[in-house]
Amino acid sequence: MSRVRDALTAKRFFVTGATGFLGTALVERILRCVPESEVVLLIRPGRRTSPMQRATKEILKNDCFDRLREEFGDRFDAEMTARITAVGGDVATDGLGLDDDGLEALSRCDIVIHSAASVSFDSPLDSAVEVNLLGPSRVAQAYVAARDLAESDGRVGPRHFIPVSTAYVASTHQGEAKEELLSANPFTLDVDWRHEVTAARRQRGDTEAESRRPERLQAFHKEARNELGGAGLHLLAERAERLREDWVKKQMVEIGQARAISLGWPDAYPYTKALGERALVEQFGTTVPITVVRPSIIESALAEPRPGWIRGFRMAEPIIISYARGLLKEFPGVPEGVTDVIPVDLVVAAIIAVAGDALASASEFEAGDSSAEYAGPSVVHVASGVRNPFRYGKLVELVTEWFKEHPVYDQDGQPIVVPEWSFPGRGRVQRQLTRASKAMGMAERVVGSLPIRGRQAEWMAALEERHLLADRALGYVELYGAYTETEARYRVDRLLALSDRMDDEDRMLFCIDPAAIDWPTYVREIHLPSIIEHARVRTTPGKAIRTDRAERARKNILSPDRHLAAFDLENTLIASNVVDAYAWLATRHLPPAERSAFIADLVAEGPQLLSLDRRDRGDFLRTFYQRYDGAPAARLRDDGWDLFHHLLLAKSFPAGIARVREHRALGHRTILITGALDFVVEPFRPLFDEIVCARMDERPDGTFTGRLIDLPPIGEARALVLADYADAEGLRLDESMAYADSASDLPLLEAVGFPVAVNPEAKLAAIARRRGWHVETWHKAKGGAQPPLPLGPFDRPGSARRGRTAPAALAGQARRLRATLTAGPTPREIR
C-alpha cells in the first residue's frame, strides 16, 4: 500500500515547461515511478519541428532518460510513444494556443502542472510578465475550459492544479517566511497586477520608440563601425540593428529590475512570479483546486535519475566556474548566512507528492473523511534552509578545498590557483569588477586602435574574451548577490506534514525531506564533479593540442572538392599597402635632394592617412589615388614591375603565395580582389585566373587623371564581384575560400563557405575567434631586404632609366594634394 503512488497510478498529467531543467526531470520521474501514468506535454512548436519532434529531441534524448532507457530496453520507444502526447501551445498566448485536440487532451488529464517559466533572472520585463505573471492564470483558464469540456462529455476532467513558483516570491526580508499565500504575507506590497501588465507592455513600446530616435540610431551605427570598421553598409546596418535590439532588451531588463527592487524583490523573476501567484489566486482561487509549489534555488540531482544530473547552466554554475578559472576572485555573501539550495529530484518528488496527496485526499473526502476536505489554495515550500541549513561560509570552504584538489587548467596546461575568499560586501566586489572591466575596456580600445595584426591581434581577441567573462562575472554579482546575501528562512512545515502523510514505500520512491541531504557529500561528490564535466573546462595538465584543429581546417580548405579561392592582396599576400607602393613609385626617379622632403611630408601625413583609411576605405583610395594625377602612365606601368621585384616580392608572404599555387594545383580557380591599382598588381597575374583591381583613367597625352574608372573593389563590392564571378563560371561560393586580413573584408569572408583570416587585425581576429574561422599566420621571408622606408632605388646620374621628363611629377603632386586633403572637403561631403 502506497498512498501517493496508488493515488496516481494510471493517471494522466498535463505538464508545461517540460523542456526545462525541472520539467525534464519531472516527466522522467512520472514515467519511471508512477505506474501506467501518461503525460501530455504543452510544447511550443519549433519553426520546422512538430511538438512531438521537439519532445523527442529535447526531452527524450537528454541523458536524464538514460536510466529509463536502460530499464525499458527495446521497449523504450514504444513505451514512450504510448505514454507521451505532445500538444502545441504557448503559455505566453491566451488560451495557451491550444487547438481542439489539445484542449481535448487536457480535458482527459487528472493533474495539471505548470512549470514553464522565464527563469532567467535577467529577462526583459515584458517577456517575464507575459510568461511568469500571466502564464499561471492562462493555464488555469485552459484548465477550466478543459474541465467544462470533460463535464459536457460526462467525464470528470482535471482535478488539481499545481503551479510551480519560487520561494523568493515571499521576498528576501529577514526572518522566517511561512508557507502561505501572498495575500496573507505582511511583507509584500499589494500592487495591482493588471496595472503592472499594462505598464510593462507600454514600457516595451516606449523603449522601442526611444531606440529609434536619430541620436540613438547614430550611436548604434557608430558603435557598429567601431566594431567592424569599414565592413560595408549592409553588414554595418545588420550589426547596428542587432545593437539596437540588444539595447532595447537591456533597457527592458533594467526597467524590470528597477521596478522589482522598488517593490521589494531582488529582481524581475520573483516579482513577476509573485504577481503571477496573486493573479492566479485572485481569478481562480475559488474555482480551481490549487497547490502552489515554491522551490528555492534548484541545483543538480541528489540521486534521481542519477546523482549530479543537471540540465543547462543555471545560477550557481557559472559563478563557480568563473571562480575556478580565477576570473571571479570573490563573491559577496555573509559566511553565517544560509544558502538555500535544493536538489532537483527533491522538487520533482514534492510536486508528485502534492499531486498524489491531493487525489488521495479527494478520494478520502469522498469516502467520508471530512478532515481531508480541500480548504482552498495552499502553498508548499521546497527549501533546505530551515530543516537542513547550509551556511554560505561552509559552501565556500567546500568549493575552495575541492578546487585546490581538482584544479582547472589554463590554456598552457598550468593549474589555476583559486583565490582565498574574504567575504566582502556586494558593493566592494561590484566596484572591483567594474574597475577591472573598465580597465580592460580601455586597454581594448587602445590596443584596438593600434595597427597590430597576426599573433598580437589574436592576443587582443583573447583580451576581449576575458573582458566579456569579467563583464559576465559582474553581471552575476549584480544579479545573484542578493540571493547569497539573503537572510530569509523558508519554513517547510507543510512539506514535512506531507512527508508525514506518506508511508515508507512512498518516501522511498519520492523523497522530499531536505534532511536527506549531506551537504559536504553533495557538494564534493555530486554537484562539483557534475558541473565541471558540463563546463568543459580543462581538467588535465599539459599543453593543449590545438594544431589538430588548424590542420583539419587546412585539409578541408585544400580539398579537391572546393571550387574557388579568393584572395585579398595587401597584408594577405604581401606586407605592403597602397601608400608603400605610391611612395616607392614616387621616389623611383626622384633626385636625392628632394627625397628627404618627400619622406618628411609622407611621414607627417601618416596619421591622417591612417584615420581616413579607417573611416572609409573607398574615400581613402579615391582621395589617395588623386596623387597620381599627371603621372606618366607608360612609365608607371614600367616601374610597376620594378616595384614588384624590389619591394612587393621582398615583402610578400611566401607561404601565402605557395597557398595560391596550391589551390591552382588542386584545380581550384583563384581570384585576386584588391583595391590596388592595375599596374601594381599586373606582375601577380600568373598566380590568378582573374584579377579584379582598381583602374585609373588616362588622358590622351598619356598621363593619369588620378580618378578611378569604376568603383574600387572594396567592402561589399568584393562580395558582389566574387558572387558575379562564381555565378558566371558556375562555381559555388559555399564550396569556396576567401583569404583576407581585415574586418573591412567581412562581406567577402562571409560570402564563402570557408573564410580564412590571414594575419588578422584586431577586429577580425576577434570575429574569427568567435566564429571559429580558420586563421593563418604568414610571415615575410626573413632573408629578404627589409628597407625601413618603401623608397625606390636611387638611379645614378647618367642612368639610362632615369626619367628625363618631369622626374618629380609624382612628388610635386603629393605636396599639392596634401594641401587639398587638409583644406579640402571632409569625407562625408565628398560622399
Partner 1 sequence: MSARPGFVLEVDRSTPPTLFWRGERFTLEKLPEGSRVIYAPEPHEPLDDPLAAIRHALANPLGDSEPLSALLFPGMKLTIAFDDISLPLPPMERPDIRQMVIEQVLDLAAEAGVDDVELVVALALHRRMTEPELRHAIGDRVYDAFAPNGLLTQHDAEDRDNLLHLGQTDEGEDVEINKRAATSDLLVYVNINLVAMDGGHKSVATGLSSYKSLRHHHNPETMRKSKSFMDQHRSELHSANWRMGRLIRDAGIKVFQIETTLNTDTFPDAFSYLQKREWEWKAKDRIGFLGAKAALDRMPARYARRLFHSVKAPHRMTSVQAGEVEAVHKVTTENVWAQQGVVVEGQTDILTLGLPYISPYNVNSILNPILVACLGLGYFFNLYRNKPLVREGGVLIMTHPTPWEFNPVHHPSYIDFFEQVLSETTDPSEVASRFEEGFATDPWYIHLYRTGHAYHGVHPFYMWYWCAHALQHLGAVIIVGGDPKSVHRLGFRSATTLADALEMARDVVGSSPTLTHLHAPPILMADVQ
Alpha-carbon gap, residue 36 to 11, rounded angstroms? 7
765-784: which residues touch partner 1 (CB under 8 A)?
Answer: 780-784
Among 435, 645, 695, 770, binds partner 1 (CB under 8 A): 645
698 forms bridges with which residues in the sheet?
A: 704
Question: By CB under 8 A, which span of 125-133, 214-222, 233-241, 648-656 interacts with partner 1?
Answer: 648-656
Question: By CB under 8 A, which span of 130-138, 193-201, 793-801, 803-811 interacts with partner 1?
Answer: 793-801
| Residue number with CB closer to partner 1 (332 or 656) | 656
Asked if 787 interacts with partner 1 (CB under 8 A), we say no
Asked if 641 interacts with partner 1 (CB under 8 A), we say yes
Among 325, 635, 646, 818, binds partner 1 (CB under 8 A): 646
Among 184, 545, 728, 785, binds partner 1 (CB under 8 A): 785
796-825: which residues touch partner 1 (CB under 8 A)?
Answer: 796, 798-801
Alpha-carbon gap, residue 313 to 536, rounded angstroms? 12
Asked if 652 interacts with partner 1 (CB under 8 A), we say yes
Question: By CB under 8 A, which span of 62-70, 325-333, 559-567, 795-803 interacts with partner 1?
Answer: 795-803
Among 389, 424, 683, 812, binds partner 1 (CB under 8 A): 683
| Residue number with CB closer to partner 1 (236 or 575) | 575
CB of 634 to partner 1, least distance (A): 16
Among 657, 720, 731, 806, binds partner 1 (CB under 8 A): 657
CB of 646 to partner 1, least distance (A): 7
Find out whether 45 and 36 touch, Cβ atoms under 8 Å: no
The x, y and z cell numbers of residue 335, run together, are 559566511
Among 154, 686, 700, 788, binds partner 1 (CB under 8 A): 686
Alpha-carbon gap, residue 534 to 528, rounded angstroms? 10
Torsional class of 36: left (φ above 0), alpha (ψ -120 to 50), beta (otherwise): left
Smallest CA-to-CA distance from 350 within 304, 314, 388 is with 304
515-554: which residues touch partner 1 (CB under 8 A)?
Answer: none
| Residue number with CB closer to partner 1 (435 or 661) | 661
CB of 798 to partner 1, least distance (A): 6
Smallest CA-to-CA distance from 623 within 653, 663, 579 is with 579
Burial class (CB in 10 A: 0-12, 13-18, 19+), 420: exposed
CB of 782 to partner 1, least distance (A): 4
| Residue number with CB closer to partner 1 (75 or 645) | 645
Count of positions on this chain that bind partner 1 (CB under 8 A): 27
**HSE value, Cβ hemisphere, 13 Å, CA-based, for 459:** 7
Other Cβ atoms closer than 10 A to 633: 18
Burial class (CB in 10 A: 0-12, 13-18, 19+), 643: buried
CB of 651 to partner 1, least distance (A): 8
Among 661, 699, 770, 815, binds partner 1 (CB under 8 A): 661
- Which residues have CB under 8 Å from 331's CB, separation 6+? 319, 323, 421, 429, 476, 477, 481, 484
| Residue number with CB closer to partner 1 (439 or 665) | 665
CA geometry: angle at 139 spanning 134 and 142, to 5°?
Answer: 125
Asked if 786 interacts with partner 1 (CB under 8 A), we say yes
- CA distances (Å), origin 272, targets 126, 183, 277, 377, 580: 10, 15, 9, 19, 62
Q: Which amino acid is at 297?
A: I
| Residue number with CB closer to partner 1 (327 or 655) | 655
What is the rounded (10 degree) CA torsion for 617, 622, 627, 628?
A: 110
Judged by the rule CB under 8 A, the positions of this chain that interact with partner 1 are 641, 644-646, 649-650, 652, 654, 657-658, 661, 683, 686-687, 780-786, 795-796, 798-801
